[in-house]
Amino acid sequence: MLKCPTMNAALQILQTTFGYTEFRDSQAAIIDAVINGEDALVLMPTGGGKSLCYQIPSLARPGCGVVVSPLIALMQDQVDALRLAGVRASFLNSTLDPATAQGVEEALLAGELDLLYIAPERLNQPRMLALLESAPLALFAIDEAHCVSQWGHDFRADYLQLGVLHERFPDVPRIALTATADERTRGEIIQRLQLGSARKFISGFNRPNIRYRIALKHNPKPQLLRFLKEEHPDDAGIIYCLSRNKTEQTAAWLQKEGFNALPYHAGLPAATRASHQSRFLREEAVIIVATIAFGMGIDKPDVRFVAHLDLPKTVESYYQETGRAGRDGQPADAWMIYGLQDVIKLRQMMEGSEGSDEHKRAEQHRLNAMLGLCEITSCRRQALLNYFGDELPEPCGNCDNCLQPVDTWDGTEMARMALSTCHRTGQRFGVNHLIDVLRGAENDKIIQWDHHQLAVHGMGAQLDNNQWRSVFRQLVARGYLSVDMERFGALCLEEKCRPLLRGEETLELRRDVRQKTGARQQTKTPLPDDLDVGLWEALRDRRRRLAEDQGVPPYVIFHDSTLREMCALMPQSLQEFANIAGVGERKLEKYGGDFLQVINEHLEATSATPDEAAASTQ
């Protein structure tokens, strides 16, 4: 391997080892800085290509690149993938037996490693630090650097110790990487990892290939089923739910419906979790139904959709979870359904949560931003990026609001009616009763409370039940009404109502539509029209067999996009094969023959007359 600290060397490594022709966006600048010994903080969205930012400098600089990562379960796969590309990579974590670990340490000291992945708790051991001091080191990469933040939910105490790297290894460049967006976390990373003088590389947060859709939840199961059947019948995806119970029920139900769905949550035995994660990575078209416990660091490139059956609590979580779709840059869906009940439930959960008033206020504030994103009638991507301080000058054209502009209506009158019903009944009833009053019902509860005597009784008969739910949902989401936890979800008026009740304010509401079959835009990644499906399936089949033989996920052999290019170009020689994106030197050598053979057999079979073809298979 050429070890020469210039950008030419970096480009050559990109092409020969990884099989890509050019750097993406800021990759070149980052790699240049690190090769030249500078520290760097890299903030790049998921799928942006962070790994190459430390992998290439590790190869281009003398010595071994040490990668600190909390994702022990994924190290084996990462190392396997690098080895297939011809990189001398290893890992050290608690899953290794002592003899194997010792072998890795010896290779490190002998200068026989290009990349070493280490769990943070191991790196912090005095013995390990001493060992690293005697080894030739190219750099330290601190992956998932937001784990150092005590505010975030991924906090790892071991990450706090990583500040010592700066003191003990002043001459070794450090590169910290994360996809987590918010400013406070960024500040904490810089401070705790002593990266004050590091070069900062902050990429935009836009993920243009992800299509954002947030629809009204009216019939969750049929809605989800239709989304899966119509748009992702054979795709890998993640479905997020709020409770453990629901993940298991949903997975079981989807299995009955013929999908390969598996549950994942923190309450399952470790072995089950590991097995489900591994099947998700290694098999094709597996759906994981999970709580938020699933996902960090899952670098499966071909996750085609992320579905939310429940509302995430913050925009940060929504962005992070949906970001797991489409790392390969191909079209992917972020699909969510939500309704009044979600809003009420989350508001209640927050009211009842432990913690100081200040903490609760902060949580409410973050939930409000999430609800705002759900209710917004303009481009969702613009709102999402804006939340992270990023700007998109034009509407994106790839979210539901852009694709099917939302109708709004003047809801001032109806909102006032709703609020005054709440007021007249003493702010002690839930939404169902309030709707009954408005629609003039005469059930026992209404009679019992004398609510048929109220002036508002029956005043809202022109809206049906669902339309009223829509009004109440939007009033709660926008903070005109709050939910009283102690009184079983009773709705109460908020300060914010006054101008509306006094007639000083008007209110535009979203007109909710129920999706009709066929009305929605297709997002299923279409295979190109001229794609030769027979060849495509044959290539996938060969990939699957190779992956099984070697115990790695199929995408580690070649990505879908690489197979698709094979279909389009139909290379006939190793030389032509080498030109396909994603084919590096090592993979050319290792797999070129296999895939060329598939292509040749296919060409022979299809150019033969039917009789000959029949004869040749006998």
Q: Would you say 90 or 401 has its CB closer to Zn ion?
A: 401
- Minimum CB separation of residue 278 from ligand ADP in Å reads 18
Using the rule CB under 5 A, which residue among 396, 422, 490, 556 binds Zn ion?
396
Among Zn ion, ligand ADP, none, partner that 396 touches (CB below 5 to 8 angstroms by kind): Zn ion
From residue 329 to residue 368, the character string flagging contacts with Zn ion as x (rule: CB under 5 A) and all else as - is: ----------------------------------------
Among Zn ion, ligand ADP, none, partner that 460 touches (CB below 5 to 8 angstroms by kind): none
Per DSSP, which regions of 441-526 are E strands? 481-484, 490-493, 508-510
Q: Would you say 74 or 336 has its CB closer to ligand ADP?
A: 74
- Minimum CB separation of residue 563 from ligand ADP in Å reads 14
Cα–Cα distances (Å) from 438 to 170, 414, 487, 489, in that order, read 71, 10, 21, 18
- Which residue, 586, 594, 607, is CA-closest to 86? 586
From residue 397 to residue 426, the character string flagging contacts with Zn ion as x (rule: CB under 5 A) and all else as - is: --x--x------------------------
Question: Judging by beta carbons within 10 Å of its beta carbon (0-12, 13-18, 19+), is residue 514 exposed, middle or buried?
Answer: exposed
Among ligand ADP, Zn ion, none, partner that 48 touches (CB below 5 to 8 angstroms by kind): ligand ADP
- Minimum CB separation of residue 576 from ligand ADP in Å reads 19
Q: Would you say 13 or 337 has its CB closer to ligand ADP?
A: 13
The residues, ordered by sequence, that sit 6+ positions from 525 with a Cβ below 8 Å of its Cβ are: 235, 304, 330, 331, 332
Is the sign of the CA dihedral 72, 77, 78, 82 positive or negative? positive
Q: Would you say 300 or 473 has its CB closer to ligand ADP?
A: 300
Among Zn ion, ligand ADP, none, partner that 44 touches (CB below 5 to 8 angstroms by kind): ligand ADP
- Minimum CB separation of residue 179 from ligand ADP in Å reads 6
Q: Would you say 54 or 240 has its CB closer to ligand ADP?
A: 54
Which amino acid, residue 161? Answer: Q
Among Zn ion, ligand ADP, none, partner that 411 touches (CB below 5 to 8 angstroms by kind): none
Q: Would you say 24 or 511 has its CB closer to ligand ADP?
A: 24
Among ligand ADP, Zn ion, none, partner that 584 touches (CB below 5 to 8 angstroms by kind): none
In this structure, are residues 237 and 307 in contact, taking their beta carbons and an 8 Å threshold?
yes
Structure tokens at 521: 């835009």
Among ligand ADP, Zn ion, none, partner that 379 touches (CB below 5 to 8 angstroms by kind): Zn ion
- Minimum CB separation of residue 121 from ligand ADP in Å reads 22
In this structure, are residues 180 and 315 in contact, taking their beta carbons and an 8 Å threshold?
no
In this structure, are residues 280 and 300 in contact, taking their beta carbons and an 8 Å threshold?
yes
Buried b (16+ CB within 10 A) or exposed e, 132-168: beebebbbbbbbbbbbbbeebebebebbbbbeebbee
In this structure, are residues 51 and 117 in contact, taking their beta carbons and an 8 Å threshold?
no
Structure tokens at 190: 């810089």
How many whole angstroms separate alpha carbon 60 and alpha carbon 139?
11
Which amino acid, residue 573? Answer: S
Q: Would you say 263 or 582 has its CB closer to ligand ADP?
A: 582
Among ligand ADP, Zn ion, none, partner that 458 touches (CB below 5 to 8 angstroms by kind): none
Q: Would you say 186 or 308 has its CB closer to Zn ion?
A: 308
How many whole angstroms separate alpha carbon 163 and alpha carbon 159?
8
**Angle, helix 27-35 to helix 50-60, in steps of 10 degrees:** 30
Structure tokens at 354: 């432990």
Q: Would you say 425 or 562 has its CB closer to ligand ADP?
A: 562
- Minimum CB separation of residue 49 from Zn ion in Å reads 24
Q: Is 564 in the site for Zn ion (CB under 5 A)?
A: no
Among Zn ion, ligand ADP, none, partner that 23 touches (CB below 5 to 8 angstroms by kind): ligand ADP
Among Zn ion, ligand ADP, none, partner that 451 touches (CB below 5 to 8 angstroms by kind): none
Question: Which residue has the CB atom at the shortest distance from ligand ADP?
Answer: 49
Long-range contacts of residues 345-354, Cβ cutoff 8 Å, at least 24 apart: 346/311, 346/313, 347/476, 347/482, 347/483, 348/483, 348/485, 348/489, 350/313, 351/483, 351/484, 351/485, 352/485
Among ligand ADP, Zn ion, none, partner that 262 touches (CB below 5 to 8 angstroms by kind): none
- Minimum CB separation of residue 327 from ligand ADP in Å reads 5
Using the rule CB under 5 A, which residue among 186, 273, 347, 381 binds Zn ion?
381
Q: Would you say 132 or 334 has its CB closer to ligand ADP?
A: 334
β-strand pairing of 481-484 with 490-493: antiparallel
Using the rule CB under 5 A, which residue among 87, 177, 261, 379 binds Zn ion?
379
3-class secondary structure for 129-149? Answer: HHHHHCCCEEEEEECCHHHHC
Q: Name residue, tokens 């790699």.
A: 31
- Which residue, 72, 115, 83, 79, is CA-closest to 277? 72
Q: Would you say 52 or 596 has its CB closer to ligand ADP?
A: 52
* Sites of contact with ligand ADP (CB under 6 A): 20, 23-24, 27, 44, 46-52, 299, 301, 327-328
Q: Total residues at the site for Zn ion (CB under 5 A)?
A: 6
Among Zn ion, ligand ADP, none, partner that 265 touches (CB below 5 to 8 angstroms by kind): none
- Minimum CB separation of residue 400 from Zn ion in Å reads 8
Q: Name residue, tokens 């089923």.
A: 225
Q: What is the CA radius of gyration of the chain?
A: 28
Among ligand ADP, Zn ion, none, partner that 538 touches (CB below 5 to 8 angstroms by kind): none
- Minimum CB separation of residue 402 from Zn ion in Å reads 3
Q: Which residues bind Zn ion (CB under 5 A)?
A: 379, 381, 395-396, 399, 402
